[in-house]
Amino acid sequence: MADRQAFMASIRRALGRDAPGASVQPPSETALSLDPADLDARARAAANDASERSDELMDALARSAASAGWKVARVSTLEEAAGYIRSAALDVEAKTVVRSAHELLDSMGIDAALANVGIRAETMTAGDESGREALRETAFHAEMGVTGADYAIAETGSVALLARAEVSRLVALLPPAHVAVVERAIVLPSLDELFTLRRGAFYDGNLGSYMNIITGPSRSADIEQTLVTGVHGPGEVHMVLLE
Amino acid sequence: MKASLFVTCVVDQFYPEVGESAVRVLRRLGVEVDFQEEQTCCGQPAFNSGFRSDAKPLAKRFLDTFESSESIVIPSGSCAAMVRVFYEELFHDEPDLAAKARNVAAKTFELTEFIVDALGITRLPESSGPPRRTRVTYHEGCHLRRELGVMTQPRALLEAAPGVELAPMRQADVCCGFGGAFAVKYPDISGGMLADKLRHVAETGADAVTACDSTCLMQIAGGMEKSGMTTRAVHVAQLLDEAMG
Amino acid sequence: MKPKTGDFNRAAASALADADVQRNMRGLYDGFHMARERAAEATPNWEDLRDRARAVKAHTIEYLDHYLGMAAENVERAGGKVFFAKDADEASRYILDLAAARGVKTVIKSKSMLSEEMGLNARLEEAGVEPVETDLGEYLIQLRGETPYHIVAPALHLSKEQVADLLQEEIGGPRYERAEDLTAAAREQLRGKFFEADMGITGANFLVAETGTLVLVTNEGNGRMCTSMPKVHVAIMGMEKVVPSMEDMGMFLRLLIRSATGQRLSSYVTLVNGVRRDDDVDGPEEFHLVVVDNGRSKMLADPALREALYCLRCGACLNACPVYRKVGGHSYGWVYSGPIGAVVSPMLTSLPDAKDLPYASSLCGACREVCPVRIDIPRMLLHMRSDLAEGGPHSGSPRASLAERLTMKAWRLAVARPWMLRLANRLARLAQRPLVKDGRLRKLPPPLSAWTRHRTFPAVASRPFRDRWRSELRKSRRDG
């Protein structure tokens, strides 16, 4: 704590104050000025609005995702989704596909659909230390990762993935291809609604340790400003929109 | 309407014809023009170089000279910005002078800004003879654009000028590399920036390049002569003078 | 790292003479700069966002102690540790001690300007720990032992050929030519490191005070690797990066990313809250946040420079700057380059040593025009120039050379009174007589000879405006 006290004292000196700001009033420009007590209401309003506009949002998401570099597939049934994933896996000549334990993937019978064409599907779930090591190895060698998504954002063409019990951080990271399945109900208009919901999650005590917002393939333009995809993360990304 | 012309030291000493054009243009638009002979320089060279105590007496002289003018018109975005924007900063710890600077700033205008915003003129009187046809490209002075926010006024006047055809320039808002003391302290960097500007001027195929600042034009004209380009460099005041003449 | 900010003139001259550098730099305008322009136009209420973000940064910096305290508490609540370091050395020592305690051999790193500022890689190497930069551009300049050329694109100055040579020497194997193949080679080389490493070090784009959330913006995926693979994650952060609310992030991410590359969002935005939870499948077991001052309080203490701490490090001012596009990043002699670098580098090192940087600008203001939080860089450069020329809190005594001071005095004399201006005009005409031809001066003697390398100069008018006014204009009134 000594480091902290000295540090804060030196900041206050620089600011010409000798004590902490007595009562700091956040100005209206920051959302901190908005009472967290209203968060639920605002988040609900955002969700209602999103569900009323869901047709429009699905279209907007399909457009923005495509321009961000996703291959976008719009499917109407779970079987169709499984079929799309299977053919995408065949296209990359996958031997092993790793997936998260999203319920949606269970209910579409993805494991069986892949097994039918000789592709092994491994679900990445929590385990002990040695189990985790083995899972890493599997993910490292897998040709494709399949996940659901917690949110999708029409504004930016993104999916947001939260780390939790059934969802490894690595499924959408280590394999060279990633498929994200997006249901209509999770599509938000913009980043603002996403962060309202995340702020709500914090005050509800379930923010979790990690969220990743993914917008298209891994990319770099570090060599002569030439765009290259697939640097450390997946170079091929699919967004399956489930109507 | 009355206007006191602050002609700037550069126009006074190097480009007096620009000042003459400014006077003729303003008079033709019905403005009563006077020239306070006590004026010298706004002090910008010293201020920009960090020598604020050398800039202050000049700024004070300016404020004294023009305090009682109805409006002050300057054929330079850069010098107008010095008066309008930077005097207050220069006198930030001298409240009386800062207040005086604010008062003078409120009635100080760059030439084209004065014509369009203060006089409300966007249509120019026809010239007496047939207009001389010129294809012109416009370079946007940095202080004019970014300190004064004057972007549309010069273009509007040029478009309204009989016989003038405006040819758009790529990167018209990129600095020509003059920057006052900058061009003296870093002549080669400034020269590199100038080379880009000349390329963009040449691409337009225009007969003339124009700007609201004689300093930009000093740089551009000097570069064009050095590299053998025959494009004319003329101040907007001169083009308006020609078009209305 | 040791600053070479005093070397600006020499370094700038060599950049100007380098055709490769000039070509790469020209691409910045049509590339990043125009991409920003289009993205700004396509974003609703872009100008309002800038105003709001500026107000939020101004408020946060004004109460920096309050918000850092709030952030630290929330990081700790999420199982993280927070260390406040007054300088680069304290911060480096904290990390070295931690690495030693955990038996760390290899560290994977995600691009951090602060790490460059601290010279952290050199410190790790001295301690026998292998630091591996994993951002492609940063990896390349680490191999070359250089500082970043650009805040967003560290290896902007390298040609494909240089990269090809560099990678072949490092990795062996065939010499690749195409950017795709070179990238793939680097990817393969770095993959193993992600598995080996016992510690990941990242920077921080933002730290949300309200929730203790670290926000990282990357495109390659290496940031995700560094925050997911090793057991220990250390984030280093300049103290100014804290923002109040989670709900401010939409605004800040739009501004940062669209100003930097014009993308609507970078490929990956990663939000980290402390350590992996018990039921998480994976993630680090330890999270350390190191908050660093390292000279920033000098800017905090000077109201005229305080707004330099609003900077989001998007790099838009570099792309917009016609001087940066000529002299390139290394001319600035330290970690930060371009307009914001000309302010920040002297403040974090020494203004008298870096006295050329505040003058390396035509004050055109293109930087302020594109800055997502409207930092008035020209105003700060003017402030620093005055500090240098006349003495001030950052320079102590006046630093202007005798020649500069004499020139200033001579000029001031010439323009002091109208009659002196007339006299100066007469003297100048006398002096220029042997040099004038057709009203132009084509070759000036030193020290002005450099001027006429690129441009000719007009001769002083034989009849200045004030004479013409007296003899003709005053009387003529209206001639139209």
| pLDDT per position as a tens digit, C340-383 | 999 999 999 999 999 999 999 999 999 999 999 999 999 999 99
pLDDT tens, residue by residue, B95-128: 999 999 999 999 999 999 999 999 999 899 877 7
Residues in A closer than 8 angstroms to C166, CB to CB, are none
Domain range C43-296, CATH class:
alpha beta
* Candidate from C27, C280, C291 with C-beta closest to A209: C280
Looking at the predicted structure, is the pLDDT value of residue C447 above 80?
no
Partner C contacted by A218 (CB < 8 A): yes
Please tell me which of the candidates C404, C455, C468 has its beta carbon nearest to residue B226.
C455
Sign of CA dihedral A83, A89, A91, A95: negative
**C-alpha separations of B154 from B74, B141, B161, C224 in Å:** 14, 11, 11, 51
Q: What per-residue confidence (pLDDT) applies to C479?
A: 47
Q: What is the pLDDT of residues B169-225, one digit of tens each?
A: 999 999 999 998 899 999 999 999 999 999 999 999 999 999 999 999 999 999 999
Q: What is the mean pLDDT of residues C172-186?
A: 93
Contact yes or no for B74/B80 (Cβ under 8 A): yes
Which residues of B fall within a CB distance of 8 Å from C448? 184
Domains, chain A, in order of start with CATH, read 37-242 (3.40.50.10420)
Residues of chain A found within 8 Å of residue C298, distances taken between Cβ atoms: 14
Distance (Å, rounded) from C-alpha C138 to C-alpha C155?
7
Chain C positions touching A98 (Cβ under 8 A) are: none
Predicted pLDDT at B141: 98
CB contact under 8 A, C280 and A126: yes
Contact: B221, C412; criterion CB under 8 Å: no
Residues of chain C contacting A13 with CB distance shorter than 8 Å: 297, 301
Cis peptide before C372 (omega within 30 of 0): no
Which tokens hold the place of C67?
Answer: 């918000």
Q: Which of B65, B186, B213, B240 is the best substitution to test chain C (most C C-beta atoms within 10 A)?
A: B186
- Collect all residues with Cβ–Cβ distance below 8 Å to C168 and sequence separation of at least 6: C174, C175, C176
Q: What is the mean pLDDT of chain C?
A: 95
Closest by Cβ to B219, choosing from C411, C455, C463:
C455
pLDDT of residue C173: 87
Take residue B94 and report the two structure tokens written for it: 């001298």
**Mean pLDDT of the region C39-68:** 98
| Residue in the block written with tokens 């401010």 | C248
> Average pLDDT of chain A?
93
Distance CA A239, CA A177 (A): 11
All residues at 6 or more sequence positions from B207 whose CB lies less than 8 Å from its CB, including other chains? B134, B135, B136, B231, B232
- Please, which chains are in contact with C (at least 3 CB pairs closer than 8 A)? A, B
pLDDT over 70 at A106, yes or no: yes
- Average pLDDT value for residue range C208-221: 97
Burial C176-212 (b: 16+ CB within 10 A, else e): beebbebbbbbbebbeebbbebbbbbbbbbbbbbbbb
Considering only CA atoms, which of A208, A217, A204 is closest in space to residue C283? Answer: A208
Residue A168 in contact with partner chain C when CB distance is under 8 A? yes
Please name the residue of chain C whose CA is at the shortest distance from the CA of residue A32.
C245
Supply the DSSP symbol for B127. Answer: P
Q: Considering only CA atoms, which of A181, A185, A196 is closest in space to residue A57?
A: A185
Could you say which of C195, C224, C273 has the minimum Cβ distance to residue A212?
Answer: C224
DSSP state of B114: I
Query: Residue ranges per domain, chain C?
Result: 43-296, 421-476
A209 to C301: CB separation less than 8 angstroms, yes or no: no
Q: Which residues contact C159 (CB under 8 A, 6 or more apart)?
A: A224, C20, C24
> Which residues on chain C are in Cβ contact (under 8 Å) with A215?
263-269
The number of beta carbons lying within 10 Å of the beta carbon of residue C428 is 15
Q: Name the pLDDT band for C477 (thresholds 50, 70, 90).
A: low
Q: pLDDT-derived band of residue C480, with 50, 70 and 90 as boundaries?
A: very low
Residue C172's identity, in one-letter code, is G
A218 and C84 in contact by Cβ < 8 A? no
**ipTM of the complex as predicted:** 0.97
Residues of B in contact with C408 (CB under 8 A): 46, 49, 51, 54
- Closest-CA residue of A relative to C180 is A228
Each residue's pLDDT tens digit, B145-171:
999 999 999 999 999 999 999 999 999
Among the residue ranges A81-90, A125-134, C109-118, the one predicted with the least confidence is A125-134
